[in-house]
Structure 1
Amino acid sequence: MTNSWMNKARWTTAAAVAALVVAGAAVPASAATPTPSVVAPAAGRVDPAALRKALAGLPDDYVRGAMVKVTGRDGRWTGTAGEWTAPTEAEFAIGSVTKLFTSTVALQLVGEGRLSLDDTVQELLPGLLPDSFAPITVGQLLSHTSGLQKPRCARPGTPVEVVTSAVSCGTPAAPGTTVQYNGINTFVLGLAIEKVTGRTYAEELHDRVLRPLGLRHTRLPADDWAWAEGGLVSNASDLRHFTTALIRGGLLRPAERRLLFTTPSVPGANFSYGGLMSFRLDSGLVVWGKTGSNKGYTSGVFTTPDLDRVLVYSLLSTGKSADEELARIKGIAAAAFRGAER
């Protein structure tokens, strides 16, 4: 799956996951492994039996294989199943998990006084949106409450061309009144980052996040124009390290760190001003993170706010059923966070 932020199947899967909350180098496919391959031993309160059960039966008609990594103060477990026969630390396209990196850069600029949650797109990027559009703020872009319409008219091109084509048809909702998950929000954030810094998004991301954290396996391929919305490649350890540093405050000042868990006063809001999405498990536990799909991978990272348990997963999707894929993801999440409800 290429240029997947525009791909209908990806939008369907992402929307379904987001509504219930809750893809680099390809992993080679080969003969299926009959049972999950456990790479690291379990320790602490992590439930290895539940995790093995969540990965059982792969490959199937909907998921060819999977990689799961659970870490934190609660213990650790790493395993693979099905056609995921590469090392657990293989790189994969992370799709919309990229949004969380972009949101982090934007919040760093807020902390420096170079951006504000109340700055409008029209002020920052004059002429990008039609004159008839109501003012849309940075905070609304981050929390997916901008009202921007789904990008059914979007076409490949530069980030500006992606945005202008995406808003060329359809009618936006009133900003700040509804939650509508939309990758165009993050394209606009990427453009705003470039405007206020005078540097490319890739340069800002590298100097502000990737280099300081030593994320050697996280990069923005030049040929993936999903860009600030969904273009990054990473691996399990880099995603865990990034998420842990973000929530501990290693990337943001205290005021902006608080925004990671602050959602707007909009009915159904499940995205924070830090770009994190909340996901309530059947057990009642609420975890925070981000999902993404690109180039055949459906991936995500979720954590408890106290970092006692951190989950990174990536599935090799067949693209046949978003509902069945979502059911597998929910099973993995339930197993990964079992016992963390205390």
Structure 2
Amino acid sequence: MRAHRRTLALAASVVLALTAGPLAAPAFAAPAAAARASAADTTTGPDAEALRAAIAGLPDADATAALVRIGGTDGAWRGSAGVHDLASGRAADPDARFRAGSTTKVVTAAVVLKLAAQGRIDLGTPVQHYLPGLFTPAFEPITVRQLLNHTSGIRAGDGWGDSFEEQYAHRFDTLTPRQVVRSAVAKGPEFRPGHGQDYLNINYTVLGLLVEKVTGHSYASEATRLVLRPAGMRDTYFPGADPRIRGPHNHGYQAVRRADGTTEFVDVTEWNQADRRAAGDMISTTADLERLVTSLFRGRIVPGPQLAEMFTVPSGVPGASYSAGLQRFEYQGREYWLKSGARYGYSTVVAATRDLSRTVVYSVGSTDAKGEEMNPVSLRIALAALK
């Protein structure tokens, strides 16, 4: 059950987008994009024209909807396009909730760092100290910090299968985080802790168990208490085994090739994500994710000494780019800290400069959210947003 690896590595994504052959365009009626720009300084602010063009023409073969929110001291822009669902063709709800995927890890990292600030967790202490018996003797001591920055060496856990069809057949079944961890531990370590970086859900699945052990409460309740409420994220929650998305939401779809070569768009809105929990279970909105990154970067959630972990990539690890909950990315001389996430039907990105001069949050109703290539609509938004 390898986590979705794609981020805003734009140079590689541009090549992939140009060489990838898109699906034949379905005959969708495309509502006009509903976009609005602030009266920001257009010299340094968001490029409204490029952003409008990025989401024009939806729905198409690649995405059924796009919700975009650009902010920061340079200026703001809001936009949406596409449909609420393919059956009705009703315009997409710009304030809709969606499956936020691995952007959940930003919240999980913040929870762990806040508990560290309270003295309840020590980042340099092996997780085996807190969760005795979880790992076999084959594993060397793995520090909490190594879980946070994906240098633990734990292999990916197992899910319901590798193909969409296998996973779709089990979309209403429950796989617990402990079952996932057991399957990962049974494989033995991938590398010695601290000797490599491999971005995997399993690290944050273990962190979720750690939070529950240390606090005596569920991960969801602690994440809500320590992060969501302080950040003002009123439309964000953790559904657990509930396959529904509560409240206003746009439908998600997966493009599936039929035997005759045509494409079917399967509604994947309802899906039990219990196995993801602290690694990718969260349901949120673009406004709430903007509140999250703004509150975090201003030091309102995690105190300064611990917050530094979110902007520290481990040294001495070749190719490392991940910190605690985020990834460092440079584009056109500007440094961003970001996190992407994808569940079937939904692809999400949250990114910001450290000084909050630019924040970028978007959710795309991707029709191949778990594909190897960056969604073309997401790529267009990213290129426009980071100008």
Same fold (TM over 0.5): yes
Query: Which amino acid in structure 2 is aligned with residue 150 of structure 1?
Result: A
d(CA) in 2 for partners of 1:166, 1:319: 26
Whether 2:284 is the aligned partner of 1:234: answer yes
- Residue number among 145, 150, 154 corresponding to 2:151 in the alignment: 145
Please state if 1:132 is matched with 2:138: yes
1:31 Cα deviation after fit: 5.0
Query: Is the radius of gyration larger for structure 1 or structure 2?
Result: 2
Q: Which amino acid aligns with 1:267?
A: P
Report the equivalent of 2:320.
269
Match of 2:386 in 1: 337
Residue 315 in structure 1 maps to residue 364 in structure 2:
yes
Matched, 1:214 2:264: no
Could you tell me whether the CA contact under 8 Å between 2:36 and 2:78 is conserved in 1?
Answer: yes
One-letter amino acid of the counterpart of residue 335, structure 1: A
User: 1:290–1:302: 8 Å Cα contact kept in structure 2?
Assistant: yes
1:182 maps to 2:200: yes
Counterpart of 2:7 in structure 1 is 17
Which residue in the other structure is 1:50 paired with?
Answer: 50
TM-score (norm 2): 0.76
Mapped partners of 2:47, 2:8: distance in 1: 26
| Residue identity opposite 1:79 in structure 2 | G
CA deviation after TM superposition for structure 1 residue 18, in Å: 7.2
**Matches of 1:42 and 1:336, distance apart in 2:** 16
Letter in 1 for 2:129: E
For structure 1, which segment, 64-73 or 168-177, has the greater mean C-alpha deviation from structure 2 after superposition? 168-177
Q: Which residue of 2 aligns with 1:113?
A: 119
Q: Is the 8 A contact 1:263 1:269 kept in 2?
A: yes
Distance 1:64 1:304 in 2: 29
Deviations 1:68-93 (A, max 9, x none): 11011111111112335332111111
Which residue number corresponds to residue 269 of structure 2?
A: none
Q: Name the count of aligned residue pairs.
A: 319
Secondary structure, counterpart of 1:15 in structure 2? coil
When normalised by structure 1's length, the TM-score is 0.86
CA distance in 1 between counterparts of 2:372 and 2:134 reads: 36
Relative to structure 1, is the Cα distance of residues 129 and 220 closer, same or farther in structure 2, using a 3 angstrom cutoff? same
Larger deviation, residues 204-213 vs 185-194:
204-213
User: CA RMSD for the aligned pairs?
Assistant: 2.4
**Which has the higher mean CA deviation after the structures are superposed, 248-257 or 154-163?**
154-163
Where is the helix percentage greater, Structure 1 or Structure 2? 1
Change (3 A) 1:323 1:82: farther
Cα distance in 2 for residues equivalent to 1:262 and 1:209: 20
Offset at residue 140 of structure 1 (A): 0.8
TM-superposed CA distance for 1:267, in Å, is: 1.4
Query: 2:365 and 2:199 mapped to 1: Cα distance?
Result: 23
Q: Deviations over 1:135-154 (max 9, x none)?
A: 11111111111111122467
What is the CA–CA distance in structure 1 between the aligned matches of 2:307 and 2:369, rounded to whole Å?
A: 38
Mapped partners of 1:42, 1:324: distance in 2: 35
Aligned partner of 1:33 in structure 2 is 30
Where structure 1 has 5 or more consecutive residues not aligned to the other structure, the ranges are 1-5, 23-29
Q: Distance in 2 between matches of 1:105 and 1:321?
A: 27
The one-letter code matched in structure 1 to 2:334 is L
Which aligned pairs between 1:267-306 and structure 2 lie closer than 5 A? Answer: 267-272=318-323, 274-281=324-331, 283-306=332-355
Q: CA deviation at 1:62?
A: 2.2
Shift of 1:167: 2.6
Query: Which residue identity is paired with 1:46?
Result: P
- 1:57 to partner: Cα distance: 4.1
Q: In terms of mean alpha carbon deviation, does 218-227 or 103-112 score higher?
A: 218-227
Deviations 1:103-161 (A, max 9, x none): 10000011111112211121111111122111111111111111111224678532222
Paired with 2:370 and 2:146, the residues of 1 have a C-alpha distance of 31
1:329–1:311 Cα change, 3 Å: same
Distance 1:159 1:186 in 2: 10
Change (3 A) 1:219 1:100: same
Distance in 2 between residues matched to 1:253 and 1:98, nearest whole Å = 20
- Segments of structure 2 that go 5 or more residues without pairing to the other structure are 14-26, 85-90, 162-173, 242-272
Do 2:343 and 2:370's aligned partners in 1 also have CA atoms closer than 8 Å? no
Q: CA deviation at 1:294?
A: 1.7
1:64-213 → structure 2 map (5 Å cutoff): 64-83=64-83, 85-152=91-158, 157-169=175-187, 171-213=189-231
Listed one character per residue, the Cα deviations across residues 209-259 of structure 1 (whole Å, up to 9, x for unaligned) are 122233210101131312111111111111101110000000111101222
Tell me if structure 2 keeps the 8 A contact 1:99–1:186: yes
Q: Distance in 1 between matches of 2:33 and 2:52?
A: 6
Cα deviations by residue, 1:182-203 (Å, 9 ceiling, x for unpaired): 0010011011111111221112
| 1:325 to 2:350 alignment | no
